[in-house]
Amino acid sequence: MNLVESISTKVRHLPALKHLGLLWNLLRPLYQYLIKFSAGKRGLLRMINGMDEVRILPEWRALPEVYEPEVWRRVLPGIKRGDCITDIGAHFGLYAIAFAKRAGAGGCVLAVEADPMNVQVLRAHVRLNQVENIVMVIPQALSDREGEAEWHSQDMQSVAKPAEAGSAGPKVKMTTLDRISEGRRVDVVLVDIEGYEEAALRGGRILLMDKARRPRLIVIEVHPYNWHLCGSSSVSLLSYLRDCGYVVTYLDGSPVEEIVDYGHVFATPKA
């Protein structure tokens, strides 16, 4: 936190003042102005999980510094200088920026994000952190084929699924993991796309089967509650990864036999 944030937070939580909600509502516009003014062109600094510095826009000041700590501590220390990482569902860029800073100038981050609003924030955060030469923002949806995806909102989550003939909903371009990684090695893949993770990985079969280029780690945030909308299942996702030569485990290293709950799984090539 910067000085204005730190002082304001301490004052806001003083026992004698913390219940004065009406006063804070009146003061909020002034507070927002002071935060934006104090942040200037450098943004607000966040030390994510006590490990990685990321600068964010003042409008995103509510972003906590503790963010998926178990996954972060498993994945980020393994990023090497010169690595190429694909972040599928990059959202506002927290992982993408941390990846870029660890991979360095010789590395690359393919930050794939379909939501037009998120793309604007993602690009702003990339500029703010001065990693434009490392992060390539790809404003498309990833699936098992190229074409158009229709944008849907469901249960407060936004997803892109292949557009049906004659559909009138908002559209975004759709591409594949094989297309965006063509001719390059990909060391790590992170997937978080609200249930369409299997479709995105099926679009990367050539990459995943290429022992010279394939990722040494695939991190998948699984959303089984949405799989009925995507034609996916625990059996089909795990079978596909195993067919591509990957072993699937949980965070603690135990083997995944069936996925029934939301969470993260990790896929690594068989020895």
The residues pairing with 159 across neighbouring beta strands, listed in sequence order, are: 152
Q: Where are the domains of the chain?
A: 3-41, 67-269
Amino acid at 215: P
Pure H helices in 45-196:
69-75, 94-103, 116-128, 177-180
Confidence of residue 156 (pLDDT cuts 50, 70, 90): very low
Mean pLDDT along residues 78-101: 97
Query: What is the longest distance spanned by two Cα atoms in the chain?
Result: 63
Judge whether residue 249 has pLDDT over 80: yes
CATH topology for 67-269 is Rossmann fold (3.40.50)
DSSP helix, strand, coil percent of the chain (3-state; round to 5): 35, 25, 40
Mean pLDDT along residues 84-88: 98
Judge whether residue 88 has pLDDT over 70: yes
Residue 62 has a pLDDT of: 79
| pLDDT single digits (tens) 10-44 | 555 656 556 666 656 665 665 555 555 555 567 88
CB 209 within 8 A of CB 245: yes
Task: Please give the model's pTM, rounded to 2 decimal places.
Answer: 0.83
Judge whether residue 5 has pLDDT over 80: no
* Helix H or strand E encompassing 220: strand 217-222
Instruction: Please count the CA atoms within 13 angstroms of the CA of 156 that sit on its side-chain side.
Output: 0
CB 92 within 8 A of CB 68: no
